[in-house]
Structure 1
Amino acid sequence: MGPSGRRANGPAILFDRVDLTLGRTAILEQVSLAVAPGAVHAVVGPNGGGKSSLIRALLGQAPHRGTIRLDWPGDGGREGPGTIAYVPQAVEFDRGLPLTVEDFLAVLCQRRPAFLGPDRRLGYGEALARVGMAGKGRRRFGALSGGERQRVLLAQALIPAPDLIVLDEPMTALDEAGVAIFETLLAELTAAGTTILWVEHDLAQVRRLATRVSGLNRRLLFDGPPPEMLSPERVLGLFSAAPRTMAGALAS
């Protein structure tokens, strides 16, 4: 069961003593935390504190030491792992490319070659409608605003319906309407039992929407319910220049 009492379709995630080093620089040191199945688990911390590196390690994109494990639900007739989706902060591309929104989704979502055209059986139109982009599938992707491109990135994460969704500061480029759409999506995914691992810099949104929050500044400084963990003292310690141990942060 998830934190809300609903049956969770998403996995539990375990990070056990994870270390990550780039060159001679320690990015993550002995990070251990558990994400409950069906949780909206936020990770907060300063720029350069290792949040995105933790995500890359989870997705198999960064070499690390220690253990990262996904524990998928054993019931419901599932065979093997479920669907994992990822929403980055932004996407780098040549804005001059004659690429429509549906073409972009085809590149990311379908298995057949994108030059054969979008496979409309995958429900691109429905996913775009869920992010407030109904009828915009034929627009040129490079002509979209930053907020519209971010909505398309959210849409691609819904094809197919994810069991685990990893969000790397998805609200950065969103306007007020886009933020409202994101909140609605978060509620829908939670109701479906999806596990959500969410890197975010907006602490007010984390307080309001997350079920649990972890503070990361190279090391894990705190982990628990947002109203308790995001006190002014802990936030100040989190964003200070010198990372502290979790025990030291909790003692403050």
Structure 2
Amino acid sequence: MTSKATIPGDAQSPVGASLLAKASSQAISSLNDTAQSRADSRLQVSGPTLDFADISLTLGRTTILDHVTFQVRPGSVHALVGPNGGGKSSLIKTLLGQMPHQGRLSLQWPGEPGTIGYVPQALEFDRGLPMTVDDFMAAMCQRRPAFLGLSKHYAKAIGDALERVGMQDKRKRRMGALSGGERQRVLLAQGLIPAPQLLVLDEPMSALDEAGIRVFERLLDDWRAAGITVLWIEHDLEAVGRLADHVTGLNRRVLFDATPRQALTPDRLLSLFSTHPRSAA
């Protein structure tokens, strides 16, 4: 039995609204030939199919998204690449229910609708606040006020998530004292609670150091093995070539949608990063 949810262009989805509530509470070239075969070899898929159908967005006289159409396969790691200002983050905001748009966006779940996790690009907060890693995780992941500490219900899940990103030993450190890469790891940890079936990542590698990148790559392998659908905005094309199952190039409109080997060619990348998008390849 499958379940389908459609996000119309003139309405905010309940799923998107719940993600927005979570996000706003923050105050805050080696290509892998076996990527597609890895995706096809999974026996169980928990994540949904995403269908972006003719999505358009205009702000004032500026066209942000121009009839964007592509599909994210269930249980795949799907990368979204393109220049700054090309509409990647705006497209994510349509999924999160933050942007009015034209067109149709639907999620087809393999069973009952699951959980959507979101990891933003950066964490904005007052670094002078005496907020520890535990405090931040409590504020993000539980209903109980953070000043009361971790609830027993979430304590194990938060500990496990911090262990997965290598931040277990820094739980009592102030968030403002962490490096940019360490804060990014904490952001990755909060995206794991509750365990998602669809995970939306907005440039998660942007502030990571080498150790953090290894953590992220291990997480990607875990998500793929668990059949989680991952929609991943990324500027590091070498990493996309190694780690993604599928790549969509977006510069206001879709310029290519293919496997990494087919997508990340010099001609297609030149077209993608040109000031004025050319015809779709």
**The two structures share one fold, judged by TM-score above 0.5:** yes
- Aligned partner of residue 135 in structure 1, secondary structure: helix
| Residue pair 1:2, 1:36 contacting (<8 A) in 2 also | no
| Match of residue 76 from structure 2 | 39
| Match of residue 28 from structure 1 | 65
| Match of residue 24 from structure 2 | none
Q: From the superposition, tell whether residues 174 and 120 of structure 1 become closer, same or farther in structure 2 (CA, over 3 Å).
A: farther
User: Unpaired runs of 5+ in structure 1?
Assistant: none
How do residues 103-182 of structure 1 correspond to structure 2 at under 5 angstroms?
A: 103-122=135-154, 123-182=157-216
| Residue pair 2:42, 2:227 contacting (<8 A) in 1 also | no
CA offset at residue 120 of structure 1?
4.2
| TM-score after normalising by structure 2 | 0.84
| Residue pair 1:3, 1:38 contacting (<8 A) in 2 also | no
Q: In the aligned structure 1, how far is the partner of 2:40 from the partner of 2:66?
A: 28
Q: Deviations over 1:77-122 (max 9, x none)?
A: x3xx211111111011011111110111111111222232222432
Q: In the aligned structure 2, how far is the partner of 1:203 from the partner of 1:3?
A: 23
Q: Which amino acid in 1 is paired with 2:228?
A: T
CA offset at residue 135 of structure 1?
2.0
Q: Which amino acid in 2 is paired with 1:230?
A: L
Q: Runs of 4+ in structure 1 displaced over 4 angstroms?
A: none
CA offset at residue 136 of structure 1?
1.3
| Residue pair 1:8, 1:37 contacting (<8 A) in 2 also | yes
Q: CA RMSD in A?
A: 1.3
| Match of residue 236 from structure 1 | 270
| Residue pair 2:39, 2:245 contacting (<8 A) in 1 also | no
Q: In the aligned structure 1, how far is the partner of 2:87 from the partner of 2:41?
A: 29
Paired residues, what number? 242
Q: Which amino acid in 2 is paired with 1:233?
A: D
1:203 paired to 2:240: no
| Residue pair 2:42, 2:225 contacting (<8 A) in 1 also | no
